Amino acid sequence: MPADPAQHSADRRALLDYSYRAALAAVSPARLLAPYLKGPRPDFVLAFGKAALPMLRAALEAYPGMPGLAVPPSGTPDLSAPPGAEVLPGAHPVPDGRSVQAAERALAHVSALPPESRLLLLVSGGGSALLSAPWGITLDQKQALTGALLRAGATIEEINTVRKHLSRTKGGRLAAATRAQVRALIISDVIGDDPSVIASGPSVPDSTTFGEALSVLERYGVSAPEARAHLAAGTRGEHPETPKPGELPHVENTVIGSNRVLLEAAQAALAARGAQAIILSDTFGGEARDLAGVHASLVQSIRQYGTPFAGPIVLLSGGEATVTVRGDGRGGRNQEFALWLLAALGERGVWALSAGSDGIDGHSDAAGAFLTPDSWQRAWAAGLDPRAFLARNDSGTFFAQLGDALVTGPSGHNLNDFRAIWVE
């Protein structure tokens, strides 16, 4: 790469790629954990989520020989267990039998710890599906329910409200199952970094209720009769509620990483290469289509009026988009965002990258996708109609055929979405 890619049009795609990879490296789980792995030695470590293995390995470097259990996604590269530890991979985003086995194993470990012991919990996004202990419904029913809520476009907060009341681990129940002193170090993958939402808050008091969980199913028209019956029984007081604020005095929860730190690392990486970058927000949510429209409007305003920022500039943004799936295509919210951004800008195009920090975007092999100023023209020349691919939610196929998919494999991290747009 040239010393100053910001000055060379041909290298702008490489610059955006670099900013994504450099940011992930700068805020790796090991680096985020390092300042917190001091003090008294824990008696057991339980790590679960997309960053479970890197977090566990960092903890075992700080506390050699400590027994532990990691529950990562099954697609994680190098699932080998560190000495003295156990690795039980699970499925994500829909739990499977391995997720249940892992949850049972975790509950057995933490419930056996005596009151004077110390438990270190290492939590990252994806942990909700990976550590699954269905309560009131079967695993198959929980799989169907989770899939229905995802397809309906429910937010992560709404899905977690339901999960907390159909689980023996979520909503603070995992921490309630142990007498040990609990220290939870949490990497956030949710807007706002609320620890009660991350991985469905297994160590965090829960303010949601059975009634609110039932309302989510009503809102999205999800039938799920068995889940509804369990939740309705809970509203009548027939099942114990999740632990409420003040009810877990033996637990300390600390968020150590977030989408904001990822974007700040990208901003620093771009500045080191001579490119000015501005962080728009780390709290963008809503439909990918609408979010792309907002970004397209900013691009056009900068180009035409030099407001609200003067170009050249890289617009960085994060958060988490949603997609209401109506087609049967392949892709995810980041590729969907990129394709809607292309549709909004058309022939004018732009240099852009939209990718998931976990390295996997929805139901595809890609982390995300690039745009170039000539993406529209290249697509039509190749016989690819962007609007047709959007109609069937097939953004993954579109960018794969165009040669603009970003394929990295699972990153072993999860800090939400990453978007970088170079505007002249």
Q: What is the pLDDT of residue 2?
A: 39
Nearest to 292 by CA among 246, 323, 331, 252: 323
Longest dimension (CA), the chain: 68
Contacts of 286 (CB under 8 A, 6+ apart): 321, 322
Over residues 395-413, the mean pLDDT reads 97
Give the Å distances, CA to CA, from 341 to 365, 372, 419. 21, 11, 11
Q: What is the pLDDT of residue 10?
A: 55
Domain ranges of the chain: 5-25+260-423, 27-257
Query: What is the distance, to the nearest Å, from the Cα of residue 398 to the centroid of all Cα atoms in its chain?
Result: 23
For residue 177, what are its two tokens?
Answer: 């199952």
Sheet of strand 68-71, all strands in order from the earlier edge strand to the far edge: 85-87, 68-71, 44-48, 118-123, 181-187, 251-257
Q: What is the pLDDT of residue 9?
A: 54
Q: Mind listing the pLDDT tens digit for each residue in 296-317?
A: 999 999 999 999 999 899 999 9
Q: What is the pLDDT of residue 83?
A: 87
Q: Mind listing the pLDDT tens digit for each residue in 357-368?
A: 999 999 899 999
Using the predicted structure, report yes or no on whether residue 8 has a pLDDT greater than 60: no
Q: What single DSSP character describes residue 365?
A: S
Q: What is the pLDDT of residue 92?
A: 85
Beta strands 351-356 and 313-317, pairing class: unpaired
Per-residue pLDDT band at 6 (split at 50, 70, 90): very low
pTM score above 0.85: yes
Q: Mind listing the pLDDT tens digit for each residue in 118-170?
A: 999 999 999 988 999 999 999 999 889 988 998 888 887 898 899 899 999 99
Q: What is the pLDDT of residue 76?
A: 86
Query: What is the distance, to the nearest Å, from the Cα of residue 242 to the centroid of all Cα atoms in its chain?
Result: 24
Per-residue pLDDT band at 264 (split at 50, 70, 90): very high
DSSP-assigned beta bridge partners for residue 287: 322
Using the predicted structure, report yes or no on whether residue 5 has a pLDDT greater than 60: no
Q: What is the pLDDT of residue 150?
A: 82
Tell me if 5-25+260-423 shares its fold with 27-257: no
For residue 31, what are its two tokens?
Answer: 């680096």
Over residues 385-409, the mean pLDDT reads 97
Q: What is the pLDDT of residue 3?
A: 44
Question: What integer best gives the mean pLDDT of the chain?
Answer: 94
% of the chain surpassing 70 pLDDT: 98
Per-residue pLDDT band at 7 (split at 50, 70, 90): very low
Per-residue pLDDT band at 1 (split at 50, 70, 90): very low
Q: Mind listing the pLDDT tens digit for each residue in 181-229?
A: 999 999 999 999 999 989 999 999 999 999 999 999 999 999 999 999 9
Using the predicted structure, report yes or no on whether residue 232 has a pLDDT greater than 60: yes
Domain 27-257 in CATH 3.40.50.10180: yes
Q: What is the pLDDT of residue 4?
A: 47
Q: What is the pLDDT of residue 153?
A: 83
% of the chain surpassing 90 pLDDT: 87
Q: What is the pLDDT of residue 121?
A: 98
**Alpha carbon distance 344, 15 (integer Å):** 23
Q: Mind listing the pLDDT tens digit for each residue in 13-39?
A: 999 999 999 999 999 999 999 999 998
Q: Is the dihedral of CA 214, 220, 221, 227 positive or negative?
A: negative
**Alpha carbon distance 51, 61 (integer Å):** 16
Over residues 261-288, the mean pLDDT reads 97
**Alpha carbon distance 362, 323 (integer Å):** 10
Architecture of domain 5-25+260-423: 3-Layer(aba) Sandwich (3.40)
